[in-house]
Amino acid sequence: MTWTRRHVLGAGALTAAGLAAGAPAYAAPHAVPAGDPWRYADAVARRVRAHPPRIPGRRLPVTAYGAVGDGRTDGTRAFAAAVAHAARLGGGHVVVPPGTYLTGPIRLRSRVGLHVEAGATVRFRTDPAAYPLVYTRWQGIECRNFAPLIYAYGATDIAVTGRGTLDGQASNTAWWPWKGLPEYGWTPGQPTQDADWARLQALADAGTPVRERVFGAGHYLRPNFIQPYRCTRVLVEGVTIIGSPMWEIHPVLSTYVRVSDVTVVSHGPNNDGCDPESCTDVLISGATFDTGDDCVAVKAGRNADGRRVHAPSRDIVIEDCLFRDGHGGVTIGSEMTGGVSAVFARDLEMSSPNLNDCLRLKTNSMRGGYIRDVYLRDVEVGRLAVAGLEIDFNYDEGGGHPYPPDVGGISMERVHVGSTKYALDLQGYADDHIHGVTLTDCAFDHAAEPNIISYVDDLKLVNVTINGAPV
């Protein structure tokens, strides 16, 4: 079967049984060529830098279209008019000058950038009615839901740049209570996302076409912040992102994506910093992540819907970043059904009592798919709550399902961790082992508990010390 845009958008109606019995086998993971893997990483980074968005230099101040930087006047129509005019002219930068601008969602078009100048804040409305339905992915499953705060679909050459601030205004009184947790403002009797999330999973498992998976108004699946969907040549650079309803930077099914010198400070539920999903050629560099969930999480679709879309993430480089807070530093999964390979992370700094892991791979036997060729080196970690390296096959649905994951080819080199609970927490299945894990020149100064290692083949420790002793 040839997987076309029609199938990806959900026009087909595969059943769960059909997925189990008749879905195409996964293609072999994209392999990193033999030799020095970091030369391959350099080539990926050069390739992304060589494909920046091609946006004409013309500047269109959003104030020329009626936006007022007083923090009160609704500029939704002004932003839309500026983007539309830029597109009609063949492209350009919609410029936000100093001031505070209130708006609903912003939808970018090909060859159009949003440039937020220093001293400018774009503040997004928290009224769900302001967010129309769009095709999107919600935790790895395609559906129609609230538009992300900044969104593009099928566009080429788009950018969000500048030294200003993007404020989603999510808080314990807006968006976050839908998670259903008291620490995020939920009180008994308030609606939560639980029923909608269960329904979305059931629709995907049943093979319901995406156009019929309708949420949005009257439902409680929070929108992502920045989501380029099926886009080519994407740049997010320089901006500060605060108060996100959910995942902050979430490119999906996109190519040549660069996230550079951004600062993300948002501590709400599921507030991941950057989640490239089913993307190829991604460079994340110079970023600061201070988040309520994983700092960087590479994803590739979830369960039945991931098998339907059948699109991997690969050729991803993460470098020169600071991880101040979050769950995992560099994370893969748990939505990784389409497969993840060729992920490189280097020259990172991270430390937080709330940061669970330096490198975290989370999956289970409902996800299926693979994680292959993951390389991490030159990382300085002050403090972790759980493990330097965690590979967990028991995440979420756990074992006993028909889609065992394939995880191997994991390498950590020159990683120093000050304190952690475990140096290594590696848990495969008795009938599905983790295979090929190598640590070289790594030191874990203080590990409170012994390693957890179960069902792991080809574990190699070369010049590794834990609590000062060689292992």
Which of 93, 310, 327, 433 does the annotation list as catalytic?
327
Beta pairing class for 469-470 and 456-466: antiparallel
Question: Nearest CA to 228 among 280, 158, 311?
Answer: 158
- 81/12 Cα distance (integer angstroms): 35
Rg (CA), the chain: 22
For residue 248 the two structure tokens come to: 């902050």
Residues counted in the chain: 471
Out of 157, 272, 293, 305, pick the active-site residue: 293
Burial (CB count <10 Å: 0-12, 13-18, 19+), residue 390: buried
Token pair 């403002």: residue? 185
Q: Is 293 part of the annotated catalytic residue set?
A: yes
Maximum CA extent, the chain: 66
Residue 42 known to be catalytic: no
- Angle made by CA atoms 224, 227, 228, in degrees to the nearest 5: 170
Residues carrying an active site annotation: 293, 327
